[in-house]
Amino acid sequence: MALIVQKYGGSSVANAKKILRVAQRVIKTKRAGHKVVVVVSAMGDMTDDLIALAGQINKNPEEREMDMLLSTGEQVSIALLAMAVHKLGHQAVSFTGPQVGIITDEFHSKARIQNVSAERIKKALGDGKIVIVAGFQGQTPSGEITTLGRGGSDLTAVALAVALKAKHCEIYTDVDGIYTADPRVIPEARKMSVATYDEILELASLGAKVMHSRSIEVGKKFNMPIRVRNSHKDVQGTLITKENKKMEEVVVSGVALAEDEAKITLFRVSDRPGVAAKVFQTLADANVNVDMIIQNKTQTNSTDISFTVLKHELTKALKTVKAAMKKVGATSITCDENIAKVSVVGIGMRSHSGIASKMFSTLAKHKINIDMISTSEIKISVVVAGDKGRLAARAIHRAFGLDKK
């Protein structure tokens, strides 16, 4: 009897009818002779709605209270799904993250899982029940409720699959699997039947929100196979697994577009050791994630530093950096919310040259200016004007032949 963890995203449990459909699917898996643990997200856009609601009351809510609020979304879904399973004549029990021993650090709104005991899950499975767990949440060792970052139910699912030594983890969503680009932005994108952890990790951390990036990190670390599938159709999805020889032949496997970042530039920062350390340490202390960084020496004895942060952390980032400006001798600061980051990803890029030049010449052909560039072994990212992001992503997708078999 194999144990399978299934995760259903917000769109899969958006209303009562869909919850009943998920219940049927879960029961089918149980009937096929498996032990089933189900992780669910909040219904539809409930998390966004709760964030908007909080904003009507306080523009700057405390992160602890925000987590208290957002964790309720998933609690609604688990109870309703358990009721749906009961209605169909099967045994099920729902648990919150804290109830199943998901322990995290204390960083509210983006807490990291430190430990999963899962004792109550094992006991309930032993009693023959389908176990339904709230995604996206945990608690600190001192009992404070935390959330794992937007899209964090994927992480709950993979972490539970690892803790319970599941056969694999199934992620059910509203598309057929992972595509060469977001199929809603680039309709000619193609579904991948297999992909490596590294590729999906890059795609996810570069903005393809189909999977939470830390869930892939955990999957990779413990070699847990992850299958991404459509919750409404019985079609083969995408298997995320470790690398094999054949996969290396694929040079570029996907394109990601991120429209949720903003750029900050600090002008005429003193050109001496320790200055960049100061700027980015202050941001780290404020728990702001920094993505791309570019430093440029000016003709005087100073440098300009540009970097990107998530738009929703822009206010916090600006406040933090402004407070440190004097210490690093910066003369002024600007920010730009109208940017988009476009990236190409592929493990085969390690052994191929010419990918960057092809990407840049494609952008040039479309008269799209490049604002920032960053590269790693298996990706190249550029920042362009926000209103050019989609055009750039589509052109690059085509230039690398990702629209063709």
| Chain positions contacting Mg ion, by CB under 5 A | 9, 151
Q: What is the Cα 186 distance to its own chain's centre?
A: 19
The DSSP 8-state label assigned to residue 368 in this structure reads P
Amino acid symbol at 301: N
Cα gap 44→12, rounded to integer Å: 8
Among 5, 10, 152, 170, indicate the residue that binds ligand ADP (CB under 6 A): 10
Amino acid symbol at 259: E
**If binding means CB under 6 A, how many residues of this protein chain bind ligand ADP?**
20
Closest distance of CB 150 from ligand ADP, Å: 8
Closest distance of CB 177 from ligand ADP, Å: 7
Task: Check if the beta carbon of residue 131 is closer than 8 Å to that of residue 78.
Answer: no
Closer to ligand ADP by Cβ: residue 328 or 399: 399
Task: Check if the beta carbon of residue 111 is closer than 8 Å to that of residue 50.
Answer: no
Task: Check if the beta carbon of residue 402 is closer than 8 Å to that of residue 229.
Answer: no
Site string for ligand ADP, 134-173 (x = CB under 6 A): -----------------x---------------------x
Q: Does 73 interact with ligand ADP (rule: CB under 6 A)?
A: no
Cβ atoms within 10 A of the Cβ of 65, count? 13
Closest distance of CB 153 from ligand ASP, Å: 3
| 205, interface contact from Mg ion, ligand ASP, ligand ADP, none, CB < 5-8 Å by kind | none
Closer to ligand ASP by Cβ: residue 42 or 163: 42
Task: Check if the beta carbon of residue 238 is closer than 8 Å to that of residue 227.
Answer: yes
The tokens describing 362, both together, are: 């494609």
Closer to Mg ion by Cβ: residue 44 or 346: 44
| 166, interface contact from ligand ASP, ligand ADP, Mg ion, none, CB < 5-8 Å by kind | none
Kindly list the distances between the CA atom of residue 300 and the CA atoms of 222, 264, 270, 307, in Å, as whole numbers in the listed order.
Answer: 50, 21, 10, 21
Cα gap 273→213, rounded to integer Å: 33
Closer to ligand ADP by Cβ: residue 21 or 209: 209
Task: Check if the beta carbon of residue 49 is closer than 8 Å to that of residue 82.
Answer: no
Cβ atoms within 10 A of the Cβ of 318, count? 17
Closer to ligand ASP by Cβ: residue 218 or 330: 218
CA angle 122, 37, 217 (to 5 degrees): 100
- Interacting residues with ligand ASP (CB under 6 A): 9-10, 41-42, 47, 73, 135-136, 150-153
Closer to Mg ion by Cβ: residue 44 or 151: 151
Counted residue by residue, the chain has a size of 405
| 184, interface contact from ligand ADP, ligand ASP, Mg ion, none, CB < 5-8 Å by kind | ligand ADP
Q: Taking CB under 6 A as the criterion, which residues in 179-218 touch ligand ADP?
A: 179, 181-184, 203, 208-210
Closest distance of CB 153 from Mg ion, Å: 7
Closest distance of CB 10 from ligand ASP, Å: 5
Q: Determine how β-strand 137-139 pairs with β-strand 145-147.
A: antiparallel
Cα gap 287→317, rounded to integer Å: 9
Among 40, 113, 175, 201, indicate the residue that binds ligand ADP (CB under 6 A): 175
Closer to ligand ASP by Cβ: residue 41 or 308: 41
Q: Does 44 interact with ligand ADP (rule: CB under 6 A)?
A: no
Among 27, 78, 178, 305, indicate the residue that binds ligand ADP (CB under 6 A): 178
Structure-token match 């709760």, residue found: 50
Closer to ligand ADP by Cβ: residue 200 or 330: 200
**Closest Cα partner for 260 from 386, 380, 388?**
386
Q: Which sign does the torsion angle of CA 149, 154, 160, 163 carry?
A: negative
Q: Does 346 interact with ligand ADP (rule: CB under 6 A)?
A: no
Closer to ligand ADP by Cβ: residue 163 or 208: 208
Structure-token match 């807490």, residue found: 111
Q: Which residues bind ligand ADP (CB under 6 A)?
A: 9-12, 41, 151, 173-175, 178-179, 181-184, 203, 208-210, 254
